[in-house]
């Protein structure tokens, strides 16, 4: 099994890479800074193209789109949320997901049972309208919508797509007051990815298996 993970240099991404490696999977752990097994900046189309070229005819059984940023934490409505924060956030959290999927479609097509897992957030759900974090929320809402539409288009090709809320996790992004540790989140996500099939494609689920409202 070949698993390719974006944003695998720390936090959930690093945890997923370790978990799959421990299971004997062939893991391509990508990172923008080159600390993984392959360099990938999801905001750079050329970087994505280079990675796809390196994959060649190699099958990708599971693509985990995990790379993400949360740049507007603590911003105020009166004077925050600068335009460049919107641009940078959507470049990673939305456009980067699409371009990575698009570039690796030939590799996914070479797998017997290909899957795409998009790590989104419950903050992208329209049912979680508690205010603040406008950019992050909007980007994750877009990621959920992207995943749903990819699922519709890729189902006839035999590619299952799942969208997941990883929990509020104690990472650099989640902070020390978060609910769960990385190991717990990773264990739950791995189980969710294993359960993903064409019958459940387009699902939006929490790390512990609960369906999430869109």
Range of the domain at 133: 2-206
Q: For residue 11, is it within any domain?
A: yes
Q: In 10 A of CB 153, how many CB atoms? A: 10
Provide the whole-model pTM: 0.94
For 2-36, the pLDDT digits (tens) are: 999 999 999 899 999 999 999 999 999 999 988 88
**pLDDT over 70 at 174, yes or no:** no
Question: Based on C-alpha coordinates, what's the Rg of the chain?
Answer: 16
**Structural domain count of the chain:** 1
Q: For residue 123, is it within any domain?
A: yes
Q: What is the mean pLDDT of residues 151-180?
A: 80
Sign of the CA dihedral 112, 118, 119, 121? negative
Given pLDDT bands bounded at 50, 70 and 90, which one contains residue 211?
confident
Q: For residue 214, is it within any domain?
A: no
Q: For residue 213, is it within any domain?
A: no
| CATH number where 115 lies | 3.40.50.720
Q: For residue 186, is it within any domain?
A: yes
């Amino acid at each position: 099994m070949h698993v390719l993970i974006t944003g695998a240099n720390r936090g959930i991404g690093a945890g997923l890479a370790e978990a799959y490696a421990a299971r004997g999977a062939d893991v391509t752990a990508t990172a923008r800074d080159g600390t993984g097994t392959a360099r990938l900046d999801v905001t750079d189309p050329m970087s994505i193209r280079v990675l796809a070229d390196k994959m060649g005819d190699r099958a990708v059984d599971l693509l985990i789109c995990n790379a993400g940023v949360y740049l507007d934490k603590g911003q105020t409505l009166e004077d925050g949320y600068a335009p460049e924060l919107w641009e940078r956030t959507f470049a990673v959290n939305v456009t980067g997901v699409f371009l990575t999927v698009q570039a690796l479609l030939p590799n996914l097509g070479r797998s017997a049972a290909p899957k795409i897992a998009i790590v989104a957030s419950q903050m992208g759900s329209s049912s979680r309208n508690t205010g603040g974090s406008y950019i992050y929320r909007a980007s994750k809402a877009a990621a959920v919508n992207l995943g749903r539409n990819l699922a519709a288009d890729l189902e006839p090709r035999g590619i299952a797509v799942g969208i997941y809320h990883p929990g509020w996790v104690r990472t650099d992004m989640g902070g020390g007051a978060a609910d769960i540790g990385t190991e717990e989140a990773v264990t739950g996500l791995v189980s969710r990815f294993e359960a993903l099939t064409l019958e459940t494609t387009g699902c939006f689920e929490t790390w512990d298996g609960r369906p999430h409202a869109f």
